[in-house]
Structure 1
Amino acid sequence: MVRFKNRWLLVEFLPVSTSVPGHVARAQEENITSKHIWAALKQSVITHFGDTGWGAVGSSLTIKYFSPRTRLCIIRVARDPHKIAWASVTLMTTIDGRKYIPHVVHVSGTIKQAQLAAIRHNREVVARYRARAKTPAGYQDSYEEFLQTSTQEIEALQD
């Protein structure tokens, strides 16, 4: 029996503010969905790699997880053409007409490693927010609840 080998891309989409050039927006009133990301990724593959690139990537490309709150996304793609998908994610500029900067945080061979990287990334982001607010490490705030719920959502993913 042959096993299909995949690569898992953990991507964070940072919204770009239209009012100040080069400034990353803190909040965006319109949320994107995994369908918007898949369509934008498909268009990016076709634009940069043509029909041949889409033929290599298209059958295995899926969005396994997307959180509109953190804008973290886990993308599954076949192992052989994963560099085409990775390059296409990096070259994306807009999703559903809104500008985003994609940041590939982690690439792994298993969904478990992508989940662990997503949980680590969420903890690092919360630590940065806490450091910016100058709160003590033991301080209980809304971030604790956020970390628990996001960890449960990410761990619930199945291959």
Structure 2
Amino acid sequence: SCWFVYKYDNDVSKSLKLIWFDKRFFSQNLKMVRVKNRYILVQFMCNNRSETETFALTSRQVGTFLQQRIEKYYGEFGIASMLRLHVIYFNEKTRLCIIQTRHGPHRFVTSILPLLTVADTESVRYRTLYVGATLQQCQKFVARYQQNYVNKMIGSYRGEAQRERFIEDVTRVKQI
């Protein structure tokens, strides 16, 4: 079995040549490459809101905003390398966000986060809390962080119903 591929000739006439490839050549010489991802845990710190107020922003808005800023600071090379940028987790209560990128270009995201001061129309600071190789390790860090957040903030809520609602809001996971 074989493949036929059309290829442009270097001739001025740009004529097409029919090239024959043997499948055995490709199966012996080409190997799969492992794709490494990095997961960046970011917290949004609102300058003009208290910690108890929710932050109404969707994960899609965060993703498009980050892609626009990467294009602004790194140009076409930056945006081309960040085609695999996904916001896979966003919690409005704790303002935590997990961003999935490819290994290597993840440095573009981590380098522009301190430069950003706005999210949507809000004045915001971005804190990079964790950069991990697996989503499972990142989720473990989120669970520990949310438990510390609950322990810190639970005293400000009166009544059992408010506390239960607060804990439910904090531990809720919103995904795309």
Structure exhibiting the larger radius of gyration computed from Cα positions? 2
Structure 1 segments unaligned to the other structure (5+ residues): 18-23
Give the distance between the partners of 1:55 and 1:149, measured in 2 at CA.
36
**How has the CA–CA distance of structure 1 residues 5 and 31 changed in structure 2, closer, same or farther, with 3 Å as cutoff?**
same
Give the distance between the partners of 1:71 and 1:128, measured in 2 at CA.
15
Alignment of 1:116-131 (within 5 A): 116-130=140-154
Contact 2:55–2:95 (8 Å) recurs in 1: no
Partner of 2:41: 10
Contact 1:7–1:76 (8 Å) recurs in 2: yes
Structure 2 segments unaligned to the other structure (5+ residues): 1-31
One-letter amino acid of the structure 2 residue matched with residue 4 of structure 1: V
Q: 1:53-98 CA deviation, whole Å, 9 max, x = no partner?
A: 11112x1100001112221111000011111111122322111121
One-letter amino acid of the structure 2 residue matched with residue 45 of structure 1: I
Partner of 2:110: 86
One-letter amino acid of the structure 1 residue matched with residue 56 of structure 2: N
Contact 1:41–1:92 (8 Å) recurs in 2: no
Identity over aligned residues, as a percent? 27
Any idea what SS the aligned residue of 2:113 has? helix
One-letter amino acid of the structure 2 residue matched with residue 14 of structure 1: M
1:28 deviates by 5.1
Any idea what SS the aligned residue of 1:12 has? strand
1:124 deviates by 1.2
TM-score by length of 1: 0.76
Alignment of 1:76-115 (within 5 A): 76-115=100-139
User: Whose relative contact order is higher, 1 or 2, with alpha carbons under 8 Å and at least 6 apart?
Assistant: 1
Q: In the comparison of the two structures, how many residue pairs are matched?
A: 144
Contact 2:39–2:101 (8 Å) recurs in 1: yes
Give the distance between the partners of 2:53 and 2:113, measured in 1 at CA.
20
Cα RMSD (Å): 2.8
1:149 deviates by 6.5
**How has the CA–CA distance of structure 1 residues 150 and 3 changed in structure 2, closer, same or farther, with 3 Å as cutoff?**
farther
Partner of 1:21: none
Does 2:76 correspond to 1:51?
yes
Partner of 1:32: 57
1:25 deviates by 3.2
Q: 1:127-152 CA deviation, whole Å, 9 max, x = no partner?
A: 2224x65x9xxx96744564466546
TM-score by length of 2: 0.69
Kindly indicate which of the two structures has a greater share of residues assigned to strand: 2
